[in-house]
Amino acid sequence: MKILTLPGDGIGPEVTHEALRVMQAADRRFGLGLSFSEALIGGAAIDAHGVPLPETTLTAARGADAILLGAVGGPRWDGIERSLRPERGLLGIRAALGLFANLRPAILYPQLAAASALKPEVVAGLDILIVRELTGGIYFGEPRGIRVRADGEREGFNTDIYSESEIRRIGRVAFEAARKRGHRLCSVDKANVLEVTVLWREVMEELAPSYPDVELTHMYVDNAAMQLVRAPRQFDVVVTGNLFGDILSDAAAMLTGSIGMLPSASLDEHGKGLYEPVHGSAPDIAGQGKANPLAAILSAAMLLRYSAGMGEAAAAIELAVGQVLDAGLRTADIHTAGMQLADTTAMGEAVCAALG
Ligand code: IPM
Ligand code: MG
């Protein structure tokens, strides 16, 4: 099992380092036979090679069985031309590897109920899976750009476009996921305004008869945003397009106490995947040992489960995270009164120790 790590920028390297140590600890305990290599992406790649996704990185990614990514971007590269920004590296690798299915579970660890922005009784037991389409929609649609009109005024434009096969394949992933969970799927769109999502809704409806055990509902994205913070436990699996999924998954993250807790998997048709914490590069706290490595560590657990079929090791990592939280260890983002403040390294070490 060849695992490529792409630490990236900001807090990416710090949290990836802890996730790597946890995978090595799991490897020792379970004899998984993992091998690791590392490559550059994002701003780190721009600094070294002038591009956010060097060919060498793409080759290494194609040769790996799974990829663990930290985060990309930061103010240092904000001035760079749009097509060479760090984020392009991330969007580029998702597209190049066909990683269309982005799974973002938002689970509330009961130990963190007090850290949630919502009342404990609203979020207790929260367990949502957001399935975000990741290689289509407005993030990739053409034409796009900023142009100058004949009258001299500038205008920016993007294209929100989905083919029915793109909708169908993400729909299937979501129905299958719902089947393994609570058997409820909510498809989020803006079908009252956007034609692209009228088609989205139609295709979801066409799929439904193949999954009679799953209850399909639809919700407009504005209402979904409200429902997520009003009564989030009404959701089991949510499926939506690239843009809405980006936004709703950040909102769902905060329900769990901190975006520092949220892992994600981005899978291709064959289950090969790139795993990354949902949080970004957080340049404001980079290099200070303040970052929460648990989202990266939980992403590593997802990697072992989905791309390596090592469910037992994945469950052991998730259990170890629970034990560390039980013991009262907290990074700053999830710290509440009476808990022990831990830095990034201490948190990673504690998970390794709990893993045995
Ligand atoms: C995410 C991020 C990325 C996205 C950015 C960094 C390009 O926000 O993974 O949610 O928009 O997909
Ligand atoms: Mg995002």
Q: What is the pLDDT, as a whole number, of residue 188?
A: 98
For a mutational test of ligand 1's pocket, the pick from 244, 246, 266, 276, i.e. the residue with the most ligand atoms closer than 8 A to its C-beta, is: 246
Block mean pLDDT (10 aa), the chain, length 356: 98 98 97 98 97 98 97 95 93 96 94 88 94 98 97 98 98 97 98 98 98 98 97 97 96 88 95 94 97 98 94 97 96 94 98 95
Structure tokens at 187: 């498809």
Closest ligand 1 atom, CA of 71?
A: 6
Residue that the structure tokens 């193949």 belong to: 210
Q: Is 284 a catalytic residue?
A: no
- Structural domains of the chain ordered from first start: 1-102+263-356 (3.40.718.10), 127-255 (3.40.718.10)
236 counts as catalytic: no
Q: Which entry of 160, 189, 236, 246 is annotated as an active-site residue? A: 246
| Nearest atom in ligand 1 to 246's CA | 10
Residue 115: predicted pLDDT: 85
> Which token pair is 171?
């729909």
What was the pLDDT predicted at 271? Answer: 87
DSSP string, 99-135: --EEEEEEE--GGGGGGSSS-HHHHTT-EEEEEEE-S
| Cα–Cα distance for residue pair 299/306, rounded to 1 Å | 10
Q: Which of 85, 90, 281 to mutate to test the pocket of ligand 1 (most atoms within 8 A of CB)?
A: 90
* Predicted TM-score of the model (pTM): 0.93
Catalytic residue, candidates 27, 190, 275, 290: 190
- 246 belongs to the catalytic site: yes
Nearest CA to ligand 1 atom 6: 87
CA atoms within 13 A on the CB side of 354: 22
SS3 (DSSP) at 22: helix
Span from the CA of 246 to the centroid of ligand 2 (angstroms) = 5
Q: How far is the CA of 247 from the centre of ligand 2 (A)?
A: 6
pLDDT value at residue 82 = 87
Is residue 222 annotated as part of the catalytic site, yes or no?
yes
Atom of ligand 1 nearest to the CA of 276: 9
Determine whether the shortest distance from the Cβ of 9 to ligand 1 is under 6 A: no
pLDDT score of 113: 87
Tell me whether residue 2 is one of the annotated catalytic residues.
no
CB 249 within 8 A of CB 132: yes
